[in-house]
Amino acid sequence: MRILIGVDGSPYSDAALDEVAQRAWPPGSEILVVTAYEMPLAPTPEVWAMPPDYYERLDRAVRGQSDSIIKAAVDRLKQAVGDTVKIEARSVMGSPKGVILDEAERWSADLIVVGSHGYPTWERLLLGSVSQAVVSHAKCSVEVVRLPCQKKAAA
């Protein structure tokens, strides 16, 4: 079985990791941990007002943060499942919705697991819901993991 987990470093994606980690998967199962990163917009439309290496430094910072999210997720999984499941990781530039769907199709995932921030309607409308987009457009099964109420209050 091939399981893709979308992570963003939040307690919500940690809940998805924990859900996958506590299950017994069939022999030969593989897990692909994926995180997406996007370059933030420039703080000013005047490009000349920024240092010449602004985008290079920004790219390094965003990639570094993405790499640390992936490393923490993989370490968390390896600690829980040991060597029973093969674990891979990818950090991909792009929108989280698109990255998760594209990677799942490219990798031929059997299951996608994502955490849900549980935004109310207004925030979901403004920010968009990654889990909703994945559920609506994935070509394989999708599991959306929610935080228990007591953990959600602390997050």
Domain boundaries, the chain: 2-45+52-154
- Give the residues across from 141 on adjacent strands: 111
Nearest to 104 by CA among 55, 34, 40: 34
pLDDT in tens, the chain (155 residues): 999 999 999 999 999 999 999 999 999 999 999 999 987 766 666 666 677 787 788 889 999 999 999 999 999 999 998 888 999 999 999 999 999 999 999 999 999 999 987 665 545 454 458 888 899 999 999 999 988 765 555 55
Nearest to 78 by CA among 33, 129, 115, 48: 33
At the top level of CATH, the class of 2-45+52-154 is: alpha beta
